[in-house]
Amino acid sequence: MKNFTFKMRLSLLLAAMTLSAGTLSAQSKVQPCGTTEYTRDVSMKDPDFVKNQAILEAQTIEYINNKHAHKGAAADDDVKIIPIVFHVIHNYGAENVSKESILEQVAVLNEDFRRMNADTNKTNPLFKGIAADTKIEFRLAQIDPNGNCTDGIVRVPSILTYDAGNDVKALSYWPNNKYFNVWVVQTITNAQPGSIVLGRSQFPGGSNLTDGVLLRSEVCGRTTNYQNFGRTLTHEIGHSLNLRHIWGDANCGNDQVNDTPIHQDANDGCPVNKTNTCLGTVTYEMVENYMDYTNGSCQN
């Protein structure tokens, strides 16, 4: 009976996939990031998350206020290395991404976080002086939680890949105090039916067991799919490290970062010399910022 139910579910799912594949190009809207909806959901369900976020915000303000005391300290100049693990949740299709794609993805991450990307010359001269190396580097894990050798890639067959939320995280997870978890899936569950979500992150302060990023398999690697150029994961890990969208998820909102300009709203495509008058005068928007929704080819 159990087997029958499973098969029924599978055939229904496959039928639904065939249907959606037929109508995909006509109806689907790309949503670069599903983190805002997810965060809203976590905030409602998990009072600890809200509390932890407030504590982290206070600590961050204190750190900034004391930054002169830290400046010049060796600890600030050291590159922080974060071991990363990719859990590829797949059903033997294209979502079972190659090791090569994952290596490319890690390379893009490190170029972007260390500002070693080849396209830094595209930064608006207005912002060149504040663009920075974050001194964070990601390395595929070499030792798994049991102390065995690993290439930092775990492959788990599951049909949950077709409609993935936090449920896939329970299939394969490494402790988040030692590893950064990325789950590669075919389709991320969406709060807005019919649209394609490229990535989804959890801000710090949520449950350890769901900490990390869900990444749509089509945007894993140095790929031009959905104009992401591998930068969906750069954006999502920005959220994991407590960065908000540059427009602060509101009209002329605040991203809580002083050296990024106020944005009117999310930008898409590749706007040139985009301005707003949020502050009463004309201000240029930093459309190159990874935390905007612009094309990956314009972010740097």
Conformational region of residue 6, where left means phi above 0, alpha means psi within -120 to 50, and beta covers everything else: alpha
Residue 260 contact among Zn ion, Ca ion, none, beta carbon within 5 to 8 Å by kind: Ca ion
Stretch of 32-40, 96-104, 112-120, 130-138 contacting Zn ion, by CB under 5 A: 32-40
Binding flag, residue 213, Zn ion (CB under 5 A) = no
Closest to 260 (Cα-Cα) out of 129, 169, 166: 129
Residue 83 vs 253, nearer CB to Zn ion: 253
Residue 257 vs 279, nearer CB to Ca ion: 257
Q: Which residue among 7, 17, 25, 33 contacts Zn ion (CB under 5 A)?
A: 33
Q: Which residue among 31, 123, 260, 300 contacts Ca ion (CB under 5 A)?
A: 260
Asked about 236 being catalytic, the answer comes back as: yes
Distance between CA 247 and CA 33 in Å, rounded?
14
Stretch of 143-151, 158-166, 234-242, 256-264 contacting Ca ion, by CB under 5 A: 256-264
Binding flag, residue 287, Zn ion (CB under 5 A) = no
Residue 255 contact among Zn ion, Ca ion, none, beta carbon within 5 to 8 Å by kind: Ca ion
Classify residue 68 by its DSSP letter: H
* 205: CB partners within 8 A, 6+ apart: 48, 49, 50, 51, 52, 53, 55, 56
Selecting among 95, 111, 218, 236, the annotated active-site residue is 236
Looking up tokens 């991404």 gives: 97
Binding flag, residue 42, Zn ion (CB under 5 A) = no
Q: Which residue among 14, 44, 61, 257 contacts Ca ion (CB under 5 A)?
A: 257
293 in Cβ contact with 239 (< 8 Å): no
Distance between CA 234 and CA 256 in Å, rounded?
19
Nearest 10 degrees: CA dihedral of 116, 122, 126, 130?
-10
Stretch of 121-129, 135-143, 221-229, 258-266 contacting Ca ion, by CB under 5 A: 258-266
Conformational region of residue 249, where left means phi above 0, alpha means psi within -120 to 50, and beta covers everything else: left
Residue 152 vs 296, nearer CB to Zn ion: 296
Positions marked catalytic: 236
Q: Which residues bind Zn ion (CB under 5 A)?
A: 33, 35
